[in-house]
Chains A and B, each alone.
Chain A
Amino acid sequence: MRSTEMMTKFPHLGQASDKHLTHEPPDFRHEDWKYTHFPQFQQYTIQLPSALSQGDRTSNSVPTIPLEDDTWIVVVKNGVIQPHLSQLPDPSSGISIRSLTEADVQHSEEPGLPFGALAMKHGHYFSQWAMAQHAAGLFIDVKKDVVAQKPLLIQTINEITEAKQVLPCHHVVRLAPHSSLTLSEILEGDGAGMSLAVYEIHVGIGANLKHNQLQLWANSQECIQQVLVAQERESQYAHFAYCSGGKKVRNQLTVSQEGQMAHTELTGLVLPGRNEHLDNQTLMRHISPNCSSRQRYRSLIGHEGTSVFNGKVYVDPDAQKTDAYQHHASLLMHESAVSNAKPELEIYADDVKCSHGATTGMLDAGEVHYMRSRGLSEIQARLMLQEAFVRDLLESLPVESLRSWCINHCVERLHDLNRLTD
């Protein structure tokens, strides 16, 4: 029994195993899962990395992104690091990247290790399920005062061919006090299976993590992901999400500001096309005073595509002087496009500044006509307006080479979505 084996390694996971055994996956009656649920999840079978193809040296899984030379790269195929395709940081850099299980064995005696605690506390059903399956993944550890000299790129390629097969992953990122790292991820693949990932991210005192995730799932793939972040005082965490596709994708971002003067930036762009369902949920937990957060999400939804955004801001009674902002905008490219947006503010402190806004609409016919009357075709006008809707978000992606790649990818995606809409 895998879960028993786990309990000896991670005593605190016992709770998860129990939960997993006694609870069913949340269905539409659960408010957080109202628009996105996985009713057949219990029939899914687990695919462990060892059972999946790892490809070979000649496979085309080398990053297709023209990166600056100065980038550390980790290629992970079907849950396994591909050393021959990766350029890992030198040990002298103060940054180590290891397989999670290996790290766990080496450091299990060390007190305060970051494996499992966050997922146990704030993980949803699927995260806890993944933990109970002893999901493997990466452990990225940045030492105290280390300012990463290069950005780090993780390219994850999941090719789980069969539907109702799930590959669970568990990644841990730890930034020791006053360290800083830019961590970018490209998540892609093929097949009909599900990628299930749990991230536990600890941002130490005064540390700064820029975390960019580009999800390029094929429209046959499913994904459930939860990123759990704990921020110490004076730390900064910025998350950028670009979700260009996927059959059914559920991303949850849960950020807890555990110390004062922490700042969080959450940015997301979602582009679902036909028969694609992309769900982004955020939970911003303001539990310490004098912290701030900024959330900006946009959905551009094609013909028969669905976007879900649920943004929760929780302000604890102790979190006085919180400054929280959240905005979500949807642009529907067709009458068949669906947007479900739900801001939720739960505020228990009285001296705070919290604002939110949400808009949903189609392109303004007057704007399109104005542009046509100056000589642009209808499709040129639409593309220009759609690009304008997303461009400033894309401009906020911090790595230059990744940013220009992402802008090009997005423009191509918009062309595709418009073609489908016609």
Chain B
Amino acid sequence: MLLEIENLRASIEGKEILKGINLNIPSGEVHAIMGPNGSGKSTLSSIIAGKDGYDISGSIRLDGQEILDWEPEIRSRAGIFLAFQYPVELPGVGLSSFLRACVNERRKYLGEPELDASAFLALMREKAAMVELSQELIRRPVNQGFSGGEKKRNEIFQMAMLEPRMAILDETDSGLDIDALRIVAEGVNKLRHAQRSMLVITHYQRLLEYIIPDRVHVLMDGAIVMSGDRTLALTLEEKGYDWIRAEQEVSS
């Protein structure tokens, strides 16, 4: 199992947001998490990536190793990647020098030699083309002056550069027009790999028409209340979340 989440509970300022999440993602699979606003989707992704400020119990294991007490940078070097819902602008920090430092930290962690300038540049050109990110944007500071769509594409570009084991896409489709959605989804699909898993968090079924998930989970009020194959997303689109609430009441 690539990622195992076991009875994960998280609260902030006394308010419980995640109420015992159990989720296993085998290597090579793409899982989607859907759920209404405020159900805890973004909290779950932030916690996997190592954001602090939460009281946490339970377990998150990457390739069998407990990562909950790891700093965010160690998780990243070990292969966790979170594509932010709201990518952060880094004023004055050049995208290529930033990424070169990041890529080399990951390589050092893996015991691989660092990339020299020309090898890095070649890799960057190749990956940028994959998400149709212009060379002009690469020369700019990270996300500074990028449009909403460019920022999201830049997240997928960074994911391509870092070649993570476990990629989490937090509402990567929000704020994207149809063309941008297609470019981002195609980029993600090119990154699908037997050694890489993905967790796609989304509000809308539409993204899952482009990125076909192996499993779909429904997160409501801090817990996964239903799991199924990709047809679950279609049913949700059709019937809405109230349908699940009704199902739950029947079963309880």
Query: Quick one: CB contact mask for A360-378 with B, threshold 8 Å, 1 for yes?
Result: 0000101101111111111
A90 within 8 A of B: no
CA distance A100 to B220 in the complex (A): 81
Query: Quick one: CB contact mask for A369-400 with B, threshold 8 Å, 1 for yes?
Result: 11111111110100011001101100000000
Instruction: Count contacts between A and B, CB distance < 8 Å.
Output: 75
- A residues near B92, Cβ cutoff 8 Å: 385, 388-389, 391-392
CB distance from B81 to the nearest CB of A (A): 8
Interface of A is mostly: helix
Pick from B81, B90, B101, B162: contact of A367, CB below 8 A. Answer: B90
CB distance from A327 to the nearest CB of B (A): 14
Query: Quick one: CB contact mask for B63-74 with A, threshold 8 Å, 1 for yes?
Result: 000000001110
Q: Which B residues, 78 to 129, have Cβ-Cβ distances below 8 Å to chain A?
A: 81-82, 84, 87-94, 97-99, 101-103, 105-106, 109
Q: Are B88 and A376 in contact (CB under 8 A)?
A: no
**Assuming the A-B contacts A366-B88, A369-B51, A369-B72, are A375 and B77 also in contact, with contact meaning beta carbons closer than 8 angstroms in the complex?**
yes
CB distance from A394 to the nearest CB of B (A): 11
CA distance A388 to B109 in the complex (A): 26
Q: Are B50 and A374 in contact (CB under 8 A)?
A: no
Pick from B49, B50, B101: contact of A376, CB below 8 A. Answer: B101
B205 within 8 A of A: no
Q: Are A375 and B76 in contact (CB under 8 A)?
A: yes
Pick from B50, B72, B93, B158: contact of A385, CB below 8 A. Answer: B93
Pick from B76, B81, B84, B98: contact of A384, CB below 8 A. Answer: B98
CA distance A384 to B99 in the complex (A): 12
CA distance A251 to B232 in the complex (A): 69
B20 within 8 A of A: no
B36 within 8 A of A: no
CB distance from B107 to the nearest CB of A (A): 10
What is the size, in residues, of chain B's interface with A at 8 Å between Cβ atoms? 32
CA distance A366 to B92 in the complex (A): 15
CA distance A371 to B77 in the complex (A): 12
**Assuming the A-B contacts A384-B98, A385-B90, A388-B92, are A375 and B141 also in contact, with contact meaning beta carbons closer than 8 angstroms in the complex?**
no
CA distance A291 to B91 in the complex (A): 31
- B residues near A376, Cβ cutoff 8 Å: 73, 101-102, 105
CA distance A392 to B141 in the complex (A): 12
Residue with the greatest number of chain B CB neighbours at <10 A, chosen from A364, A367, A388? A388
CB distance from A25 to the nearest CB of B (A): 40
Q: Are A375 and B88 in contact (CB under 8 A)?
A: no
Find the A residue at minimum CB distance from B73: A372
Q: Are B93 and A374 in contact (CB under 8 A)?
A: no
CA distance A384 to B98 in the complex (A): 8
CB distance from A382 to the nearest CB of B (A): 11
**Assuming the A-B contacts A369-B51, A370-B84, A372-B72, are A388 and B102 also in contact, with contact meaning beta carbons closer than 8 angstroms in the complex?**
no
**Assuming the A-B contacts A369-B51, A369-B72, A384-B98, are A375 and B90 also in contact, with contact meaning beta carbons closer than 8 angstroms in the complex?**
no
- B residues near A366, Cβ cutoff 8 Å: 88
Selected A-B contacts with CB under 8 Å, 30 pairs: A367-B88, A367-B90, A369-B72, A370-B84, A370-B90, A371-B98, A372-B50, A372-B71, A373-B49, A373-B50, A373-B84, A374-B76, A374-B102, A375-B76, A375-B77, A375-B101, A375-B103, A375-B106, A375-B109, A375-B162, A376-B105, A377-B105, A384-B90, A384-B97, A384-B98, A384-B101, A385-B92, A388-B94, A388-B141, A392-B92
Task: Give 18 A-B pairs besides A367-B90, A374-B81 with Cβ atoms closer than 8 angstroms.
Answer: A369-B88, A370-B90, A371-B93, A372-B76, A373-B50, A373-B75, A374-B76, A374-B102, A375-B73, A375-B101, A375-B103, A375-B105, A376-B73, A376-B101, A378-B73, A384-B93, A384-B97, A388-B92
Binding site for A on B (CB under 8 A): 49-51, 71-73, 75-77, 81-82, 84, 87-94, 97-99, 101-103, 105-106, 109, 141, 158, 162
